[in-house]
Structure 1
């Protein structure tokens, strides 16, 4: 029999993790999509070819992807405080989670868009489609399976990152594992948090795989 207080702790930790990951994933999806589309459009031969802009975007994305999350977590503390007014708690943890996930997803978006058949784009252009139509109705539409699969990968990574946020009091299952499982040597809580995190990842991966397959068959 699991103690009621333990169930309550785990339920609270799961809610906080879902909140952090959900909001960060939504913001990262929007930001990563914009940056990824920008990388493709401004590249040589793109619809809005602009080499300096493309190079700048590439540098920013590479820097963001190269920083380990635990270092980024500490490095942008002043930025986090400026955005949400605090550096502790689940809302504060969303800021570094989003900042780390945007460049990660942007590269996935770029790769997915580059895999779209160039003949399809050329055909749309020949039929008189403008840039906005080509991006929205051709590139993004054709790349949907890859975009969904990439977003699933991003959410899974965010779940892992959210556990690290416990180091600075970010809340969630990671914070629970650190405070009770590590500092107080309560192994039952540590094991329970690991099981919940694994189950969370499995659920996200399963849903993402199903959705990506359905989009691929349309």
Structure 2
């Protein structure tokens, strides 16, 4: 093998390694903040203010507003100022951490650690699969995620009806598992492929926030849905 080609491969591998270290490192810090906060809630109990419905609605509104801002800027192909990006991201992570506190407060330590281990293991495996997938599958997987996302939105209405109107939570749990796991498994693999392929600009830590948020939200969503499915279908 020519030395120039070998050096090229080494530089490419080093670039991918640096990119993954930045993105997954930031995502890991967000996850660590969330799961550590939840662990404290389980060990020490939850304060009354965190169970207040007004605060819960406020946290939900914060999540929706910040996500809407990021989505609008992404569609407009705009980037927020670095400071604004970090502030909005930290607000979002904090809000996402607080949002399920009412549920997390009822979790016991066994459930917490079993779920944490399973979800972490699944995330690692799926991201590794994504990093090893040929880039030719990127468009195909993106199309599948988009189509299944539309299916998820439609069937999500049925799940909500089963929970709140029919009060059939067991059936809702099975249906949620059927529509959720294919979507987020594919989405996690797609994220891993996108990170490895160089789709994201990672020249600075601020530019790594977008893919790091994707990894973080995949983890949190998988954890909370798995908790619901385990409790209602178990």
TM-score (norm 2): 0.35
* Structure of higher RCO (CA pairs closer than 8 Å, 6+ residues apart): 2
TM-score (norm 1): 0.37
